[in-house]
Amino acid sequence: MAVRDMERQSEILEARFAGLTYAQIARKLGISRQRVQQLISPPPWVRSIVVNRAGGNCQDCGLLVNGSGHVHHKACDGEDYNDVANLVLLCVSCHRIAHVGVRSICLQCGQPTNGLRRYFCSKKCWSLYHKTTMTCSSCGKEYELQTSQASARIKRNESGKYFCSKECQGKHTGRNYGFVKHPKNIGPHKISKFKPMAPEIVERLDKGEKLYKIASDIGWRSGNLSTLKRLVIEERKLKGEQNHGTGEINTD
């Protein structure tokens, strides 16, 4: 070990004996908390002795941890800080209890977790904790979304309407724009039925009305506006309206 590291190790041990935490010592010396732990952790051969002595089991609860267990110092004073007699093998949860007196508690179900810094005991609890209940604007049914999904949907939806399925969204659109009350069999093959209405449609478009609103009024199937556009283009060509020769129509 370098001389500088030996000096730091002595400073760190003095601070630990004074009751400072790793984070406090790191701030005091201007190094990382991980580096503080590295400098005063037991050597690998000492750690191996502690693990073998415990048979790889936590010496508190008996959980099999092997080399992934934490080596805990029973006393934080004296020259025997890293002595084998001062060390015990603990699991993560028991190591937390030894330092702060409590296990990590799941925020959803209240059961103890298995980790030092984990807030949920399982993925199921994490998912349930991060869900938001919303109400469908069409059928009134309550449904759940991940909180992040719900926030994004609320942020981008200016109408304040939310739906549990595409079917409910379609029904809501139909009730508001009148599409559902019209026959579903109106298609391109019956375009001749609407040709007499073409002049009226063009006139209403020129006045600034929306194409989907006109389609609703005349009973045109909402999913086939492209054919209605062609009908309007043909009518304008017949009238010789050169300014509409491109066939661009406002369908917003």
Beta pairing partners, 166? none
pLDDT at 245: 44
Tokens coding 206:
């020129």
Phi and psi at residue 145, in whole multiples of 5°? -135, 155
Identify residue 250 by its one-letter amino acid code.
Answer: N
pLDDT at 78: 63
CB atoms within 10 A of CB 166: 8
> With contact defined as beta carbons under 8 Å apart, do 224 and 191 qualify?
no
Chain centroid, CA 59 distance in Å: 38
**pLDDT single digits (tens) 144-173:** 888 888 888 888 877 788 888 888 888 877
pLDDT at 242: 46
Mean pLDDT (the chain) is 76
> With contact defined as beta carbons under 8 Å apart, do 12 and 34 qualify?
no
Looking up tokens 């994004």, which residue turns up? 152
The domain spans of the chain are 3-100, 130-177, 183-244
Q: pLDDT under 70 in the chain at which residues?
A: 1-3, 76-79, 100-104, 112, 114-118, 177-193, 220-225, 241-252
Which pairing describes strands 87-90 and 70-73: parallel, antiparallel, or unpaired? antiparallel
pTM over cut 0.85: no
pLDDT at 240: 73
pLDDT at 79: 66
How far apart are the C-alpha atoms of 9 and 38, rounded to whole Å?
9
CA distances from 136 to 34, 106, 144 (A): 50, 31, 10
Architecture of 3-100 per CATH? 3-Layer(aba) Sandwich (3.40)
**pLDDT single digits (tens) 175-199:** 776 554 444 444 444 566 677 777 8
pLDDT at 115: 54
